[in-house]
Structure 1
Amino acid sequence: MAFLQMLFLLCPIFMYFIVPHTAQPEINFHLCVVENGNYTANSTYQANLNYLLNSVYSNTEIDYGFYNFSYGESPDKVYAIGLCRGDVKPDACRDCLNYSSLVLTSRCPTQKEAIIGLDNCILRYASRYIFGLNEVAPYFFVYSLKNVSDEKGFNRSLNSLLDSLQDKAAAGDSRRKYATGKISTAAPNFQTIYALSQCTPDLSQTECSNCLRNASARVGQCCQERQGGRVIYPSCNFRYEINQFYETPIGEDPSPPPSKGKNKTVIIIIILSVVMSVMVILIISFYTFSGKRKSGEKVKSGSVDDEITRVESLQYNFEIIHLATDNFSEFNKLGQGGFGPVYKGTLPNGQYIAVKRLCRDSTQGEQEFKNEVLLVAKLQHKNLVRLLGYCFEQEERLLIYEFMPNSSLNNFIFDQTKRSQLDWERRYKIIEGISRGLLYLHEDSRLRIIHRDLKPSNILLDAEMNAKISDFGMARLFAGDQTQESTSRVVGTFGYMPPEYVMRGHFSVKSDIFSFGVLVLEIIARKDIEQSTFLLTLCCSLLKILQTWENWNSGPNLDKLIDSTLRAGSRNEMLRCIHVGLLCVQENALDRPNMASVVIMLSSYSVTLPVPQKPAFFAHSTEMPGTTSTWTESDQSRSASVPCSINEASITELYPR
């Protein structure tokens, strides 16, 4: 007891030396957006806001300085974005966001929307959707009070630097769009200008470039003749100074450190070394003393037991499945997928099920397989096919899913008779369902999931014609070795794969966006040619995308664009869906919208849609490696002679958030 008291008394002394005494960070700007509504104290909105802000600055998994989270249900749902400067370390980033949230909620105690900016970070929240949008209002200026001597020469160099950084930042990925650089002014001053440009990384390359271009156009309005300045938009910002204010990226020579504070630094290091040594000795002594008393205690493993119980509860007896499918009879066979056949089954209680019988050449062990089943079983959404359980017995690996009575979308859109059963209301509901299922996989599930084989046969339809995405966890469930090879061996279905994946094996959430765009256009677009085989349908899909874009580009004529069986329905909805589909199949993956933006585009007419660029594979007359492109538009009418290969293996990647 005496030991603990001594440690307690010494702690404040140790903390005095260890904790740095720094001034609070300077607040550059903040704004409470009054016109977008208020909330009351102790309301649901306030509770959601507090929870969300805590989630932003306490999240230790994100190490790239960009946080876009939402929480709650409408009308009390809250959206928040935290963006740290690209050179700021993760711990400093979280500290900045933590301080920002405290200040902002204090200064805007009732406003639903607010924004604050510090040197190291920008934080904003709102009751409206703010992700992936190029927002240029409100904007803020911060500038130096000192003037330059050669205004024209300085501005010429500054504009050149900002132009180059604009392109570099816009070319970043979905984790970081950030660039820094420097330039020297001409004689006689020879000043060096340092600058950075940054966008929220959920913007496309084009949107980021446009945002920074608008911001840099305000240099004259903001920072005329100034030695330093900043223009900050909600979605992008730039800063310049005549002194280096950012950390030097790897590959650049850092400026030599000043020698002024060298002695002070040495003294601090010595003090810290002594203090830390004493602390370590005290802590070791304490644990040695307390460890003797606790050596006989038993560690509880309730959470492990819970997980084991949960995965075992999903296991089905092989004999039950064997009887349910009538010994996997051909009569009950629903289809053949890349990982094995699928059978219809009937359980003793009368429940219909779909049983996927996996191929037997997997090297995955039993426990690994069970872990993956548990992982996928936790992913539940109304637009995903639900995994009911599994069977691992007698060298059999079976997956049991809910049964979809209307089979797949493929059986409707490529069948002349059944296609007429899909009126516009049903087609629009299917498109919306697929988009919401993908949004869950990409952003809202516990794992970020890239499907990589989204196609009509993987969109199943329940009794009410609700769309449900299937095979979204098959790579992890089937074969780890196949997943690991996937970046070097392209697998999937030609016609639904984006160019960056076909050419270079690169895949991301934007790969699924491309496949979604193809699906949307196939659901809506005209089908003038009767394809005699599914093979020909896939081979012609890219050509149909081009035809749709050309018809659109020449002035949207709905009669030329839509399926002739669509005799009724909202023409505006049809045009908007085609517009969104064309945005999703653009050549540059960064120009394609993310899934959250797609959902908003489909459901809200308040969002202005950008003009779609020429579709992938046609933007630069690109040919696939190792093939020759010899078929023309007239080749649509042929069946067996069309050169095309198909690999129907469904491969999915799951990534921890």
Structure 2
Amino acid sequence: MGVCLSAQIKAESPFNTVFNSKYVSTDGNDLGSTNDKVSANSVPQTPRSEGEILQSSNLKSFTLSELKTATRNFRPDSVLGEGGFGSVFKGWIDENSLTATKPGTGIVIAVKRLNQDGIQGHREWLAEVNYLGQLSHPHLVRLIGFCLEDEHRLLVYEFMPRGSLENHLFRRGSYFQPLSWSLRLKVALDAAKGLAFLHSAEAKVIYRDFKTSNVLLDSKYNAKLSDFGLAKDGPTGDKSHVSTRVMGTYGYAAPEYLATGHLTAKSDVYSFGVVLLEMLSGKRAVDKNRPSGQHNLVEWAKPFMANKRKIFRVLDTRLQGQYSTDDAYKLATLALRCLSIESKFRPNMDQVVTTLEQLQLSNVNGGPRVRRRSADVNRGHQNPSSVNGSRVRRRSADDISRLETPNAYPRPSASPLYT
């Protein structure tokens, strides 16, 4: 989950969060694009107390014993990831009855167990149940169930075998390969659809912690948003914002939110712009290991992104030959709009989705056009998409699963649902 921008402290996510009686039942892993609207036939009474939230959710209540069986008693070799929340374990349950099964049978799950001494607390655990227990969308990770037994707090998710976007962008080595241009467009569009759904009039939710580690990928590289511990209800009535403590992850928070604590859907749009820039550049939002003047990616990249002749200085060199200059410039322009200092100049997420859909269509129809890079950018960099001047075909999803020689790279933050 997210951390305080100055230190890792508990996030503010009150457990009495409500949705103005707008809910969606969680009914499966449909990855289609036709289920973006809330069903008017699945609107329960608005839960207000902890007990009401847990009882009204569309989730299975697991016993601790069941989850011990599913994860082989939380064996160390079943750990998928670790973070401030504690550890996440791989497990197996029957697809229909949701009862624990033998390893390798049934469906794979990811079980997140709250570390009682960690920085995340019961309120964040409950916020996750509250939101993901009521909202369902192809681009939100499915929460299957929870366990609340004595001091134990656990969450049971669908398993996301491709891991986090963060790992595919920044981790180099055996399993995680750099995503191709086409897959980056797909992931960006999927994530944008997830945010657009949260911001819709039906849901009215501000995600507040959009970042690469919270975007998870299934086996077909479908992207889904995870970790709703910092999510907040959006403003209602004639209110323009929600006033709250400044929480999230450093480098992703909108400037007006940092300055005033006023949270709006446009705060998420700014965070999306940061992630879009990370996807374009292959660089982290904040990295003190970079040369002086480049620690903050947004501040360094903005001057280049506004100039069609200079955007190559920002673009990930591993993508060379996979995109057209026009498409790269359009995507950079979209990122710049999302990163506008004044929130009123940022697009809403529906507009972002429309632009990304057009770019994806252009990419499919037109395909990449290899352009020579300017001498100052190309100097010292070999074109990874050509050998002796011959063009190499664009990397496919199957190519990405191949192994490469591991390179030293900073360890990414834990993502809860990956191997």
Query: 2:106 is matched with which residue?
Result: 350
SS at match of 1:326: coil
Correspondence for 1:595 among 346, 349, 362: 349
Distance 1:560 1:499, change over 3 A: same
Distance in 2 between residues matched to 1:559 and 1:364, nearest whole Å: 44
1:329 aligns with 2:75: yes
Closer, same or farther: CA 536–402 of 1 in aligned 2, 3 Å: farther
Of the candidates 218, 222, 241, which is equivalent to residue 462 of structure 1? Answer: 218
Larger radius of gyration: 1
| C-alpha displacement of 1:513 | 0.5
Partners of 1:553 and 1:597 lie apart in 2 by 20
1:450 matched to 2:206? The reply is: yes
Alpha-carbon offset, residue 590 of structure 1: 1.4
Match of 1:491 among 243, 247, 251: 247
Aligned to 2:321: 568
Structure of greater relative contact order (alpha carbons < 8 Å, 6+ residues apart): 2
The verdict on how the C-alpha distance between 1:506 and 1:462 changes in structure 2, with shifts beyond 3 A counting, is same
Q: 1:363 to 1:342 in 2, by over 3 A?
A: closer
1:482 alignment counterpart: none
Deviation at 1:405, TM superposition (A): 0.7
- What per-residue deviation string (whole Å, max 9, x for no partner) do you get for residues 381-419 of structure 1? 111101111111132111111011111111111124467
| Alpha-carbon distance in 2 for matches of 1:491, 1:310 | 28
> Which of the residues 440, 451, 475 maps onto 2:197?
440
Q: Are 1:427 and 2:173 counterparts?
A: no
Shift of 1:311: 4.2
Deviations 1:315-369 (A, max 9, x none): 112112112223333322222344333222223053111112234485669xx95
Question: Residue 250 of structure 2: SS of its match in structure 1?
Answer: coil
Query: How much has 1:424 moved relative to structure 2?
Result: 0.9
Contact conserved, 2:59 with 2:144, CA < 8 A, in 1?
Answer: no
> Following TM superposition, by how much is the alpha carbon of 1:500 offset from its aligned partner in structure 2, in angstroms?
1.5
Whole-Å separation in 1 of the counterparts to 2:245 and 2:53? 35
Contact 1:524 1:562 in 2 (8 A): yes
Equivalent position amino acid for 2:74 in 1: F
For 2:197, give the aligned amino acid: Y
Secondary structure in 1 aligned to 2:148? strand
Work out which of the residue numbers 558, 563, 577 in structure 1 matches 2:331.
577
Return the alpha-carbon distance in structure 2 between the equivalents of residues 450 and 313 of structure 1. 22
Aligned partners of 2:131 and 2:209: how far apart in 1?
Answer: 20
> Once structures 1 and 2 are overlaid, which stretch shifts more, 352-361 or 423-432?
352-361
Tell me: CA distance 1:536–1:333, structure 2 relative to 1, closer, same or farther (3 Å): farther
CA distance in 1, matches of 2:294, 2:244: 25
Q: Distance in 2 between matches of 1:390 and 1:535?
A: 38
- The equivalent residue for 1:550 is 303
| Cα distance, 1:310 vs structure 2 | 6.2
User: What does 1:219-258 align with in structure 2 at a 5 Å threshold?
Assistant: none
Tell me which amino acid in the other structure corresponds to 1:434. Answer: A
Cα 1:430/1:375, change in 2 over 3 Å: closer
Match of 1:105 in 2: none
1:363–1:408 CA distance, 2 compared to 1 (3 A): closer
Task: Verify the 8 A CA contact 1:518 1:545 in the aligned structure 2.
Answer: yes
Partner of 2:155: 399
Which residue type is aligned with residue 192 of structure 2? S
What residue identity is the alignment partner of 1:506?
H
Q: Distance in 1 between matches of 2:344 and 2:58?
A: 43
**How many residues are matched?**
296
8 A contact 1:449–1:472 mirrored in 2: no
For 1:411, the equivalent position in structure 2 comes to 167
C-alpha distance in structure 1 between counterparts of 2:58 and 2:197, whole Å: 26
Which one of the candidate residues 308, 314, 335 is aligned to 2:60? 314
| Alpha carbons of structure 1 residues 557 and 375: separation in structure 2 relative to 1, 3 Å | closer
Counterparts in 2 of 1:380 and 1:542: CA distance versus 1, 3 Å: farther
Q: Measured at CA, do residues 540 and 557 of structure 1 come closer, stay the same or move farther in structure 2, by a change above 3 Å? A: closer
Summarize the alignment of residues 59-78 of structure 1 with structure 2, pairs less than 5 Å apart. Answer: none
Asked if the contact 2:206/2:231 (under 8 Å) is kept, the reply is no
**Alpha-carbon offset, residue 308 of structure 1:** 8.6
Which residue does 1:339 correspond to in 2?
85
Partner of 1:559: 312
Q: Which amino acid aligns with 1:330?
A: P
Matched AA of 1:452: R
Going from structure 1 to structure 2, the CA distance change for 1:588 and 1:393 (only over 3 Å counts) comes to same
> Helix, strand or coil: the match of 2:162?
coil
| Sequence identity percentage | 35
Q: Is the 8 A contact 2:293 2:300 kept in 1?
A: no
Amino acid paired to 1:321 = L
Deviations 1:542-570, CA, capped at 9 Å, x for gaps: 63223322113344445323111113333
Whole-angstrom CA distance in 2 between matches of 1:553 and 1:372: 38
Q: What is the CA distance between 1:584 and its match in structure 2?
A: 0.6
**SS at the partner of 2:61?**
coil
The C-alpha deviation readout for 1:151-186, integer Å capped at 9, x for no partner, is: xxxxxxxxxxxxxxxxxxxxxxxxxxxxxxxxxxxx
Equivalent-residue separation in structure 2 for 1:312 and 1:390 (angstroms): 11
Whether the 8 Å CA contact 1:495–1:541 is kept in 2: the answer is no
8 Å CA contact retained: 1:424, 1:568: no
Question: How has the CA–CA distance of structure 1 residues 462 and 312 changed in structure 2, closer, same or farther, with 3 Å as cutoff?
Answer: closer
What is the distance in 2 between the residues matched to 1:441 and 1:310?
20
Q: What do residues 490-524 of structure 1 show as CA deviations (whole Å, max 9, x unaligned)? A: 22111111112222222211111111001001011
Aligned-residue offset at 1:576: 1.5
Unaligned runs of 5+ in 2: 1-19, 21-32, 37-43, 47-51, 94-100, 233-241, 360-408
Q: Which residue of 1 aligns with 2:396?
A: none
User: Residue 276 of structure 2 corresponds to which residue in structure 1?
Assistant: 520
Amino acid paired to 1:403: F
1:576–1:602 CA contact under 8 A, matched in 2: no
TM-score, normalized by length of structure 2? 0.60
- For residue 354 of structure 2, what is the amino acid of its counterpart? I
> Does the CA contact (< 8 Å) of 1:420 and 1:565 recur in 2?
no
Q: CA deviation at 1:307?
A: 9.7
